[in-house]
Amino acid sequence: MNQRRRNVLPLNKVKVDDFFWNKYTRLVTDQIIPYQWEALNDCVEDAEPSHCIKNFEIAAGLREGEFEGAVFQDTDLAKWLEAVAYSLAYEPDAELEKRADAMIDLIGKAQQPDGYLDTYFIIKEPDKKFCNLREGHELYTAGHFMEAAVAYYQVTGKEKFLHIMQRVADLICEVFHQEAFQQAVPGHEEVEIGLIRLYQVTGERRYLEMAKDFVDRRGTEPNYLIHESEKESWIDIFKDVNPFFPQYSQCHKPVRMQDTAEGHAVRAVYLYCAMADLAYEYQDEGLLHACEKLYDNIIKKRMYLTGGIGSSGAYERFTTDYDLPNDTNYAESCASIGLALFCRRMLAITGEEKYAETMECALMNTVTAGIALDGKSFFYVNPLEVWPDNCMDHTSMAHVKPVRQKWFGCACCPPNIARTLASLGEYVYATQENDLWVNLFVGGEAEASFGGIPVKAEVETRFPFEGKVKLALTAEKEAKGTIRLRIPSYASEISLSCDGKTVTAEAGSYAKIPFEGTKKEITLSFVMPPHFVYANPKVRADAGKVAVKRGPLVYCMEQADNGENLSNLFVDTTVEPVVTYESGLLGGTDVIRLSGKRMDAEAWSSDALYAEKRVPLKETELTLVPYCYWGNRKTGEMQTWMKFLQ
Amino acid sequence: MNQRRRNVLPLNKVKVDDFFWNKYTRLVTDQIIPYQWEALNDCVEDAEPSHCIKNFEIAAGLREGEFEGAVFQDTDLAKWLEAVAYSLAYEPDAELEKRADAMIDLIGKAQQPDGYLDTYFIIKEPDKKFCNLREGHELYTAGHFMEAAVAYYQVTGKEKFLHIMQRVADLICEVFHQEAFQQAVPGHEEVEIGLIRLYQVTGERRYLEMAKDFVDRRGTEPNYLIHESEKESWIDIFKDVNPFFPQYSQCHKPVRMQDTAEGHAVRAVYLYCAMADLAYEYQDEGLLHACEKLYDNIIKKRMYLTGGIGSSGAYERFTTDYDLPNDTNYAESCASIGLALFCRRMLAITGEEKYAETMECALMNTVTAGIALDGKSFFYVNPLEVWPDNCMDHTSMAHVKPVRQKWFGCACCPPNIARTLASLGEYVYATQENDLWVNLFVGGEAEASFGGIPVKAEVETRFPFEGKVKLALTAEKEAKGTIRLRIPSYASEISLSCDGKTVTAEAGSYAKIPFEGTKKEITLSFVMPPHFVYANPKVRADAGKVAVKRGPLVYCMEQADNGENLSNLFVDTTVEPVVTYESGLLGGTDVIRLSGKRMDAEAWSSDALYAEKRVPLKETELTLVPYCYWGNRKTGEMQTWMKFLQ
C-alpha cells in the first residue's frame, strides 16, 4: 500500500462562504446550535423532551430524578459539543464556549471514579455496565464523546474534555482485554472511530490497537454478540421487540470477508469508516480491499440516487441487491452522513475521484434534505416518494414522515446533521505534502502550506447552479506545490486554465495544476445540463421510471408545483429539460421544467375503484426542484422517480 | 325494512361437484382435514407445532404441562371441528365423526364448572379471565367454538357440543352484564357471530341480545377498550409490542356512525357480519345503512382487485382511501373470508347482485390463492406482486412470503380456509319462501322445496372458464316457485332460456324464472372475454398499470412463464388478450396471452446502478395464469398490475 494519506485541513484554516452552502452553514450558529441547546434543556415547545442534560445532572449528583430518554440519550450532548467545537473554529463565540465548558465540567462530574461515563447505566442500571453490548450503546456513546473531545481540543486547545475521554478510553482498553470480554465488540459501531481520533491527537497507540481489536474481532468465533444474551449478566433493554440477528451488527462474518453491505445502515458505514482508518494506519491492503468491495456493493447495488442507504423501514437496514423501494425505505440522514465520512476516508487514502462524487451526492441531497431551510426541523427518514395521506401511525408507513419533525425521542439525526454542516470544511479540502486537494466546489477561503509557506486559497463559485469555479492562490512568499482540483464525472465541455493557460482536465479525475511563485488564478468551467437518469433494469422499483439530475443535485416533483397525485404524471423524455434559476423560490434555486402528460383523472367519471376503460392523457408541464429542498413548503406529495412515456 | 331474508340451504342438501371447485373441495376431506388433524397433534414435520390438543388435555387435567402457542390457539380446534361438520354434511365418515366426538368430549372435560372455556387462561392465567379483552381473545375463541358447535349440531343432530357452548354463552351473558363489564366489548370481534348463530338454532333470545349489546356498546363512552389497560386487573399479554389504538378494534366511534372501514381487517369484517345479522334480526334500518356505507367504502376505496383487504403489513389493517400498495400489503386470507361472509349476509338481506359479485371475487381469487393446489400449504398474506429476493426476515417485507407456509404459529388462515371450502354450498344457494336463489355458478346438486314439495336442482357448468350454465330442476310432484339466477355484471351477450323459451336477463341482477310443474331446464350462456382493467387514478400504486380479468378471475404473471424481473415488462393494450385452456397446467386452467415489450436488460452493459442512457424495449409475449393458482410452481416473481405502453 505504501501511501500517504490526504489529511483534512484543520477547520480553523477554512472559511466557508458559499452560494449554496451558506443557506445551511449559517443555520448552524444562528439556529441549530441555539435550538439544539434549547432542545437538550427540554425547552422546545411541541417537541419530545430530550432530558439529556438532566440525566447528566442526576448522574453527577446535582439533581434528584430518574433517567429519561433513549439508552443513547447522552450522545445528544456529544454531538452538540462536536458541532459547537467546529462552529467555534470559524466563528469564535465566548458565550458559547463558556456554555460548552460548563457542559464539559458537568460531564466530568458525572464520570465515575473508574472513568466510566454513561448516564443510562450510572443512574438506572449501575450493576449492568457493559452487560448488553448489542443494544446498550455505551461504547457508541463513548465514541461520540471521544469525537467531540478531539474536535474541542483541536479547536480550543483545551484539554479537560480530552482527558475525561482518555479516562473513558483507558477504562475501555482495560475492560475489553479482560478474559470475559476478549471477544466482545460493540453492537453499534462508533467507538472505533472515536478511539482512532483519540489516538491521532494523543499518540496513545493502545487506543488505535483497541479499535483494531474491535474491528478484527467482529464476526469471528466465538461470536460475542450472538451469544451475549445467553450470559447470566445479560440485561434486556429493548425487550426483544426487534429480535437480534448477526447481520444487523455486521457480525455475520469477519470484516475482511464481508463484501456486501449488511444490516443497520448507520452501524455499517461507521464500521467501514473505522476499517478505512485502520487500513491506512496499519497499511493493511486486505482491509482496504474489503472497504473497496463494500463501497462497490453500496454504489452499484444498494444506494439510492440521492445517496440514501437503508432500504427497509424495519431495522433501518440494507436488504438485498437492487432492492430500492422509493416510498417505504428508511435512508436515514445519519446513514448518509456515515457514507460521506466513509467516502472521505477512502478518498484520503486513494485519491480516487469517485469517492468525492459519492460523498458530494450524500451531502448535497440526503444530508441537506435532512434539515429544513429554517434549521428548525429534521428528517430522520428520507424517502424518494411521499404521499402524505398514507404516512399513518400504526401502519407499515409509520416511519415515513411527510413533514420534518422538531426534535425526536431518538435524536441522533439533528445533532449529527449539525456537526456535519459545521465541519463542512473538512470535506472540501485535504492536503498531502505539498498538494492541496480541492474535493468540493464550495466558496470561501482556506489556508494551506507549501513547504512550510502559508498559501491562501480563495474560491468563488455559484456551484451547483453554475459550472464555474474560480480559485485564486496567494503564497506569502515564493512557494512550490500542486493543486489537485476535482473534475467531476458529470462535467462536460470542461475548460481548465491557470493564469490563462490551458491545463489538461479529465472528467472523473483530479486535475494536477503545478503552483510556483506567489500567485495563481485557476479557472474551471464546465457544462452540466440537467439530464435524465435511468436505473439499472434490475431495480424493480424504478423500472419504467426516470429521474432528473443536474450535476450533483437530484431533482424531484412536489405537489406545491405540480398539483396532487404525482403518480398520474408521465415525463416526455424526448423533450430536453429546461433549467431556470428562481431567486425567489426556496431561498434561490434552479428549477427544472419538463414536458409530459397527466392522466386525466376527471375522465374517470364513476366512483368505481376499477373499470375497463382507461383515462386519457393530457399535455402538461412538470416542475422540479432540488430534492434537498423538498418539504419546505406546504405539506404535499413528492416524487423523485417519475414514470415516462415509452 | 320489512324484509324476509334469503336463508342458506343446509349443507346436507347441497352437493358440490364442480369443474373449478373440485380441485379445492376435494382437498378438504382428502388432504386438509387429515393434514390439519396431524397439525393439531404436532405431527407435521418442518411445521411449527400447534400444541392445541395438548393444551386441552392439560386444561382437562389429563396431562401435565404448560400452555403453548398463541393466546387464541384453541381456535385451531374450533375451526377444524367446523370444517369437519361441513364435510360430514356431504360426505359422511364414521371414523372422522368419532374423532370429532372425542374432541368434543375433551372440550367438555376442559370446560370449567362455571362454563368457562379457554385453555390459555385456564392453564396459564386462571386469575386473569376477561382481564384483557383487547388481546385476550377469549370471546373470539368462544365465538369460533359456537360456530363449530352450531355447524356440528346442524349436520349430526348431536347436542353435546351445542350444550357445552350454551354454557359458555350463558357465562358470557352473565359476566358481561355485571357492573364492571357493562361497557365491555371484545377486542377481536367474532363472538357476536357465534352468539347469533347459537340463538338461531336454540331460539335463546338472550344470546342475540348479548350480541346486540356488544355491537351497540362498541365505540361508545366510556370506551372500555381504551381504558381497559388502566384497570388494576389488567394483564399485558402481547407486552405492548404493538400499542393499541381505537381504530384497530373498530371502537373509535359508535358502529352506526362508522362509514369507513378501519383497523384490523379481519376484526372489521367480522364486526360487519354481526351488524348485518343484527340489522336483519331487529329489522334495524340504521344498522343496515351503516353496513351499506362500510361495504361501499371497502368496494370503492379500500379493496384490492382480488378481493383482498388490509393495506398495511403492520397491524394487518385498513389504512386510507385508495392506498393499495401491491407488494407490501397484508390482505390476509381470513380477511377475504370475512368479507365473503359479510357479503353473503348482505346478499341474504337485500338480494342485490353486487354483494354476490364481491363474495365471488374474494372466494375465487384471494381465498383460493390462500391454499396450495395440493392442500398442504397456505398463504396468510396475499400480495399482488412478489419479488422473492426482498421478502427477507427482519425487514419491512418480512410478513410477505413468496412460498406458502406449512402451518403457522398463528394458524388462523389454514383452518379458516378449510371451513370455508367445506361450507361452499352455503355461498351457492339460498331460499326465500318459494324462491331458490343461485348465487354462484357451481356444478352439483341441491335440494330445495317449493311449497313443501322437494325440488332437485342440478347444475352443470365449466365456469369460470366457460360462460355457460345448465340448470335442471325436478320436483317430486307439481310445484310452484321461482328460480332467481344471478346474472353477473361481467356477463355480456347474455342468453337465458327456460325450456327453450327466452327469459329476460340483465347483467348485474338476478333473473326471475318462474317454475311450474315438475321439470324445467334453464340454460344461461354469456360471453366473458378476458379484458383489461384499470384502477381509479387516485390509486397511486396502480397508476400507469393494467390488470387482466376474465369473469370473476384476476390473472397474474409469474416468473415460471415470463422469466425473471416482471417489472421490466410492459403490456400492449391495443392487442386483445388471447385465452387458451391448458388442461396440463396447474390441474387445468385458462391461460391468457398478451402482447407487450420487455426492457432489454442486456443493453444495460455496465454494472452501474444509474446511468443516462435508457435501455430499449423489445417485443415479447406475456403469459398470465389465474391469480388463485400463483405460487404453485417454482418459487419466483409474481405480478398482477402490469405496466402498459402509453
Closest CA–CA distance from residue A374 to any residue of chain B (Å): 31
Nearest CA-CA distance, residue A40 and chain B, Å: 27
| Facing residue for B319 by CB, picked from A390, A532, A534 | A390
CB contact under 8 A, A533 and B609: no
The whole-angstrom distance between B151's CA and the closest CA on chain A is: 36
Report the residue from A535, A536, A617 with minimal CB separation from B646. Answer: A617
Residues in chain A with pLDDT values less than 70: 1-2, 240-241, 407-411
pLDDT digits (tens, 9 = 90+) for B61-117: 999 999 999 899 999 899 999 999 999 998 899 999 999 999 999 999 999 999 999
Mean pLDDT score, B553-566:
98
Which residues of B are less than 8 Å from A387 in CB distance? 323, 540
| B609–A536 C-beta distance less than 8 A | yes
CB contact under 8 A, A301 and B609: yes
* Contact at CB, A533 and B611, closer than 8 angstroms: yes
Please name the residue of chain B whose CA is at the shortest distance from the CA of residue A603: B537
- Min CA distance, B614 vs chain A (Å)? 6
Residues B185-241: pLDDT tens digits? 999 999 999 999 999 999 999 999 999 999 999 999 999 999 999 999 998 887 756
Contact A606, A576 (CB under 8 A): no
Are B614 and A396 within 8 A, CB to CB? no
B615 and A567: CB-CB below 8 Å?
Answer: no
Comparing CB atoms, the residue among A305, A323, A390 nearest residue B389 is A323
Cα B28 to Cα A482, B15, B37, B86, B422, distances in angstroms: 81, 14, 12, 10, 6
Which residues of chain B are within 8 Å of residue A536 when distances are taken between CB atoms? 604, 608-611
CB pair distance less than 8 Å for B314 and A540? no
Are A394 and B314 an interchain contact pair (Cβ–Cβ within 8 Å)? yes
CB contact under 8 A, A396 and B312: yes
Q: How far is A530 from chain B (nearest CA, A)?
A: 11
Taking the CA of residue A564 and the nearest CA in chain B, the distance in Å comes to 10
Domains, chain A, ordered by start: 22-423 (1.50.10.10), 431-527 (2.60.40), 531-644 (no CATH)
Residue B534 and residue A395: Cβ atoms within 8 Å? no
Q: How far apart are the C-alpha atoms of A222 and A234, rounded to whole Å?
A: 17
Interface test with B, best of A394, A489, A550 (most B CBs within 10 A): A394
- Cβ distance B615 to A534 less than 8 Å, yes or no, reads yes
Q: Is B316 a catalytic residue?
A: yes
All residues at 6 or more sequence positions from B141 whose CB lies less than 8 Å from its CB, including other chains: B72, B74, B75, B78, B117, B118
Q: What's the mean pLDDT in B440-452? A: 96
Distances (CA, A) of A330 to A266, A303, A336, A384: 11, 12, 11, 10
Residues of A in contact with B400 (CB under 8 A): none
- The whole-number pLDDT of residue A237 equals 84
Return the residue matching grid coordinates 466546489. A441
B612–A314 C-beta distance less than 8 A: no
Asked if A239 lies within 8 A of B239 by C-beta distance, the reply is yes
b/e B217-251 (16+ beta carbons within 10 angstroms → b):
bbbeeebbbbebeeeeeeeebeeeeeebbbbbbbb
How many whole angstroms from its chain centre is CA A217? Answer: 26
H helices of A516-630, in order, are 559-562
Which of A396, A541, A597 lies closest to B313 in CB terms? A396
* Distance, CA of B369 to CA of B404 (rounded, Å): 10
SS in 3 state form for B592-610?
EEEEEEEECHHHCCCCCCE
CB nearest to B537's CB, from A300, A538, A599: A599
DSSP H or E run through B458: strand B453-461
Residue in B300, B393, B570 nearest the CB of A608: B300
Of A317, A534, A541, the CB nearest to B611: A534
State the pLDDT at residue B376: 86
Picking from B499, B497, B500, B480, the residue whose alpha carbon sits closest to that of residue B435 is B480
Instruction: Check: CB of residue A242 under 8 Å from CB of residue B393.
Output: no
Whole-number Å distance between alpha carbons of A55 and A66 = 8
CB contact under 8 A, A315 and B395: yes
- Just list the catalytic residues of A: 316, 412
Catalytic residue among B316, B385, B426, B637: B316
CB B449 within 8 Å of CB B403: no
Kindly report the nearest CA distance between residue B447 and chain A, in angstroms: 37
Q: Find the residue in B nearest to A570 (Cα).
A: B544
B536 and A313 within 8 Å at the Cβ level: the answer is no
Nearest CB to A387 within list B301, B317, B540:
B540
Which of chain B's residues have a Cβ under 8 Å away from the Cβ of A328?
A: 325, 328, 396
Q: Is the dihedral of CA A559, A563, A569, A574 positive or negative?
A: negative
pLDDT, tens only, A409-443: 556 788 899 999 999 999 999 999 899 999 999 99
> Least CA distance to B639: which residue of chain A?
A540
- Å between A377 CA and nearest CA of chain B: 26
B313 to chain A: nearest residue by CA? Answer: A396
Residue B145: what pLDDT? 98
Dist. CA B45–CA B305, nearest whole Å? 35
What is the ipTM for the molecules in this complex? 0.96
Give the Cα separation of B493 and A510 in Å (integer): 73
Among chain A residues, CA nearest to B317: A395
Residue pairs between chains A and B whose CB atoms are closer than 8 Å: 186
Q: Select from A614, A619, A620, A642 the residue whose CB has the most chain B CBs within 10 Å, as the one to mutate to test that interface.
A: A614
Asked if residues A472 and A452 have their Cβ atoms less than 8 Å apart, the reply is no
What would the mean pLDDT of B26-33 be, rounded to a whole number?
89
